[in-house]
Amino acid sequence: MARGVNKVILIGNLGQDPDTRYTPNGNAVVNLNIATDESYKDRQTGQLVPKTEWHRVVMFGKIAEVAGQYLRKGSKVYIEGKLQTRKWQNKEGQDVYTTEVVVDINGQMQMLDSRGSDGGGASQSAPAGRPQQSTPAAQPQNSPPPAQSSGYNQSQPSQGSSMPEPVDDFDDDIPF
């Protein structure tokens, strides 16, 4: 029903492994931090000045499952989503606003590494490798709760699919 357009397109690399959580009804929600590089040459010195922009990305549904399973720290990825700003309260009770790129059923994701992030070893490394909570970046310090944090749990996998099943058009059940 949108009477507007709200579109974000990013190509960048993950700053850390995805943070996967699950809604009470078992839907995956994945938080990513994606760096887009815009290093530029200083016109005085001719030096290459590094300039990195960090983006908080939240994924839902089937895309989230694939992302959680196959993306890893350093993975290069294309994502298409929309801008959304959430309000939450820090421990001092102050309103804080966090802007995220939301990738839902209307969004898209493409893994841009040779074949998945780590050559198929995704499933092996996964069991041990998901518990990081690490540096959320982008809006750090008093870092915001993950999107829709109410009652997530971080372990229960929604199902044990083993094939990648590339995503981006799909029939999903998460209401946005």
Partner DNA sequence: TTTT
Give contact residues for its own copies (rule: CB under 8 A): 1-13, 27, 35-41, 43, 48, 51, 53-55, 60-61, 76, 78, 80, 82-85, 94-99, 101-102, 104-106, 108, 110, 112-114, 138-142, 148, 166-169, 171-172, 174-176
**Which of 24, 41, 49, 52 touches DNA (CB under 7 A)?**
52
Specify the stretch interacting with DNA by CB under 7 A; choose among 19-27, 33-41, 86-94, 99-107: 33-41
Measured CA to CA, the distance from residue 176 to residue 157 in angstroms comes to 22
Q: Is 82 in the site for DNA (CB under 7 A)?
A: no
Q: Is 135 in the site for DNA (CB under 7 A)?
A: yes
CB of 119 to its own copies, least distance (A): 11
- 61 contact choice in DNA, its own copies, none (CB below 5 to 8 Å, kind-dependent): its own copies
Measured CA to CA, the distance from residue 10 to residue 109 in angstroms comes to 10
Q: Is 140 in the site for DNA (CB under 7 A)?
A: yes
Contact 160, 69 (CB under 8 A): no
Site for DNA in 115-134 (CB under 7 A): 115
153-166 CB burial, b ≥16 within 10 A, e <16:
eeeebbeeeeeeee
Q: Cα-Cα-Cα-Cα dihedral of 148, 139, 129, 52, to 10°? A: 140
Q: What region, left, alpha or beta, does residue 93 occupy, with left being phi > 0 and alpha being psi -120 to 50 degrees?
A: left
Site for DNA in 96-115 (CB under 7 A): 114-115
Q: Count of residues for the chain? A: 176
In the bound state with its own copies, the residue whose beta carbon lies nearer, of 98 and 126, is 98
Specify the stretch interacting with DNA by CB under 7 A; choose among 46-54, 59-67, 89-97, 153-161: 46-54
Would the CA dihedral through 20, 61, 9, 143 be positive or negative? negative
